[in-house]
Amino acid sequence: LFNLLFSPVASLIAVLPRIILKLHKINLSYADKVALRDQQLYNLMLSSFKEAVRQGKLGILEEFAIYCRDWGFDISKIEVPITFWHGRTDELIPDEVAVAVCKHNPRFKLKLFSDHGHISLVTQEISQIINL
């Protein structure tokens, strides 16, 4: 069932990465759309899409599958501190997901940014992320 649902999407990404990136932008927050107006960032994203599918769609299918299956370990047992950075306007992964994950482990810390989405957070807050 998983392959039936996601294989066509992975095939499209593999064949038409530029078009898929443009379609992907439709579902982005305003902050992310603004971030992708930067031609250098857009080209980097396009290059990343192309590299992800250079050898076909199997890598994309595997990535999709990771989100849908058991990871084989209990996140509450992770012993190292982890900081999750999340934009509240992220249209790809709702902030409720990050909140729910962080409830499973006291070592997990969540930094929420009200004015950022999925892409804009990293591009505009990179120095803060690196200096943590």
pLDDT at 9 over 80: no
If asked whether residues 11 and 42 sit together in one domain, one would say yes
C-alpha dihedral sign at 80, 86, 92, 93? positive
Domain boundary among 22, 44, 66: 66
Quote the CA–CA distance of 87 and 114 in Å, as a whole number. 6
Condensed to tens digits (0 to 9), the pLDDT of residues 95-122 reads 999 999 999 999 999 999 999 999 999 9
If asked whether residues 81 and 62 sit together in one domain, one would say no
If asked whether residues 94 and 125 sit together in one domain, one would say yes
Domain boundary among 33, 66, 99: 66
Q: What range does the domain containing 79 cover?
A: 75-130
Phi-psi region of 129 (alpha: psi -120 to 50; beta: other; left: phi over 0): alpha
Domain boundary among 21, 39, 66: 66
Structure tokens at 36: 């992708």
Residue pair 58/2 in contact (Cβ under 8 Å)? The answer is no
Rounded to 5 degrees, what angle do the CA atoms 102, 106, 109 make? 50
If asked whether residues 32 and 50 sit together in one domain, one would say yes
If asked whether residues 58 and 81 sit together in one domain, one would say no
Rounded to 5 degrees, what angle do the CA atoms 57, 92, 26 make? 85
Prediction pTM value: 0.74
* Number of domain units in the chain: 2
Condensed to tens digits (0 to 9), the pLDDT of residues 27-58 reads 789 999 999 899 999 889 888 878 877 787 77
Condensed to tens digits (0 to 9), the pLDDT of residues 64-98 reads 788 778 889 999 999 999 999 999 999 888 899 99
Q: DSSP label at 72?
A: S
